[in-house]
Amino acid sequence: MKTNSLRFLSLVVIVTAILTLPVSALGQKRKPRPAPERILIGYISDSSCGLQHMPGMDEKECTLMCAKNGKFVLADRDHKLIYRLDKTGQEKSREFAGQKVKVKGRVTGKTIRLTAIEAAT
């Protein structure tokens, strides 16, 4: 009788171990793949004005003035989209305020992790 009990107990332990292995593997989080780099063309604007600046004011002047109270953004006027720029983008975009630019970076939602910026033609 003891051998049957030991066999049964061993079987229960083995079955339990087999069933819990896949469950523990599912609980591990996978690292999300980083977004692929994209190239976007738009205008360096500010979060206050977005797609349109104050009438009668130079775009660069307006962008620099309004960015003091907000942040620089990439305004894609063709698709009517505004992209936030990460910290690197904030630093690099100042010299392109109000200008049409080509930016390269990883887009997540509405934020660009900027890797390169240059004037667009």
| Residue-wise pLDDT tens digits, 48-105 | 888 887 788 888 999 998 888 889 999 999 999 999 999 999 999 999 999 999 999 9
What pTM value is reported for the model? Answer: 0.70
Q: What integer is the mean pLDDT of 7-15?
A: 83
Specify if 45 maps to a domain.
yes
Q: CA-CA distance, 3 to 11, in Å (whole number)?
A: 12
Domain count across the chain? 1
Specify if 86 maps to a domain.
yes
Domain of residue 83, residue span: 37-119
